[in-house]
Amino acid sequence: MSSATDSSTDAPATPQLPLHMLRNGFDPVPDLAAVREGSGLAQVRTPFGADAWLVTRHADVRALLGDAQSFSNVWKRPDHGLSEQEAAEMRRGNLLAYDPPEHTRLRRMLTPEFTVRRMRRLQPRIEEIVEEHLDAMERAGAPRDLVADFALPVPSLVICELLGVPYEDRAEFQERTGKALDTSLPEEERLRLNVEQRAYMRELVERAQADPGEDMLGMLVREHGDDLETPDLTGIASLLLVAGHETTSNMLGLGTLALLRHPDQLALVRDEPERVAPAVEELMRWLSIVHSGAPRVTTTDVEIAGQVVPAGSIVVFALPAANRDPELVDDPEKLDVTRKQTNHIGFGHGVHHCVGAPLARMEMCTAFPALLRRFPNLRTATPDDEGEFRSYHFVYGLKRLDVAW
């Protein structure tokens, strides 16, 4: 099994990374491409200690993600220190832990809130939030940490307002979720943080049940309060809060660095409005910040890439390899914002396709050009070889990005 060790002084204590989480900066490691071009399938050890089959080719990954019957999201994950009842309670409401028809029932309640038409209503507020943070950066002066000052707070404020989460709590919940997604930390610590995060969200849900506001939690209570018990609402809200700020914020940080390293592409995004939406799709494909998505378990013997995988096997997906498959696009290693739309799987595929994708697209289509136009001479303030990547996180990104203008 391929893995990597940390080069820091505490290397012996740092867990090894599975193949699909290994990167060289923006790029998946060559070993991953070698699997894709070879058998298409590899056996890996997951960050939670289980053996799994790793699927690497775009066509295979897309087909498997679209087959919820043969590849189930419902399976017993390791729950260190939790009783079976406590573990079941922790999973309630988390759409990533359900299959149809229960998944369909829960998702149907959320889908109306994330339609493109509904998101357009948020556009003016998103623009306002972006401009407020750019103003603050400009007032403070260079250099600034783009992650702390822009990439993280913009989507955090948007999802807080959308859900009805107090923005003043952001530092606390961001620290919790950031650590909970960090595979270099002990499993017991990450579990404790998840329990704390769920307790925090339960308090907000109970507050909304007592006095529902105009936000999404209030809507869910008013419209679906008879169908959703408190643990279900808590799980839904927890997933939306984590997904709503972790993914988009890392795309904004890493995507900005990618554009800075490709000045010709940056100029197109900055100067030609019609390029922005295709650029977001290309950045989603090229960066693939979510390494795998939720693992699945096979419900029957299935054939993947010409090999029979037995029933009861865990399967994970190498999204970075799949999105750079030569069968998907020509010259897949090249960042090209002028590409025609591709069937990238940066937002997943099938019944678990990211429900918040319209919101994420709107935030990125607003934030990237606004940042680049406000600071037309934006540049990194540290040498290229000193980028601080979040190598051990389930969501890939940057720890910080010092910029000047």
* CATH class label, 19-404: mainly alpha
**Whether pLDDT at 326 is above 50:** yes
Instruction: Give the pLDDT confidence of 146-184 residue by residue, as tens digits.
Output: 999 999 999 999 999 998 888 888 888 888 888 888 888
Contact between residue 73 and residue 98 where contact means Cβ atoms under 8 Å apart: yes
Task: Please give the average per-residue pLDDT across 242-250, as a whole number.
Answer: 89
CB-hemisphere CA count at 13 Å for 218?
10
Instruction: Give the pLDDT confidence of 34-58 residue by residue, as tens digits.
Output: 999 999 999 988 877 788 999 999 9
Task: Please give the average per-residue pLDDT across 17-29, as a whole number.
Answer: 91
Q: What is the pLDDT of residue 81?
A: 67
Contact between residue 184 and residue 224 where contact means Cβ atoms under 8 Å apart: no
Pairing of strands 388-389, 398-400: antiparallel
Task: Please give the average per-residue pLDDT across 192-209, as a whole number.
Answer: 90
DSSP conformation class of 182: B
CA distance 122 to 108: 21
**This prediction's pTM:** 0.91
Mean residue pLDDT across the chain: 89
Q: What is the pLDDT of residue 145?
A: 96
pLDDT category of residue 405 using cuts at 50, 70 and 90: very high
Instruction: Give the pLDDT confidence of 341-399 residue by residue, as tens digits.
Output: 889 999 999 999 999 999 999 999 999 999 999 999 999 998 876 668 988 888 999 99
pLDDT category of residue 9 using cuts at 50, 70 and 90: very low
Please name the residues in contact with 80: beta carbons below 8 A apart, sequence gap of 6 or more. 187, 188, 191
**Whether pLDDT at 7 is above 60:** no
CA angle in degrees (0–180, nearest 5) for 238-240-242: 70
pLDDT category of residue 186 using cuts at 50, 70 and 90: confident
> H helices within 311-356, ranges in order?
319-323
Token output for 273: 């409005």
Q: What is the pLDDT of residue 18?
A: 86
**Whether pLDDT at 6 is above 60:** no
67 vs 225, residue with greater confidence: 67
Cis omega before residue 143 (within 30°)? yes
49: left (phi over 0), alpha (psi -120 to 50) or beta: left
> H helices within 111-229, ranges in order?
116-140, 146, 153-163, 170-180, 187-210, 216-224
Instruction: Give the pLDDT confidence of 89-137 residue by residue, as tens digits.
Output: 778 888 888 899 999 999 998 888 888 888 888 999 999 999 999 999 9
**Whether pLDDT at 14 is above 80:** no
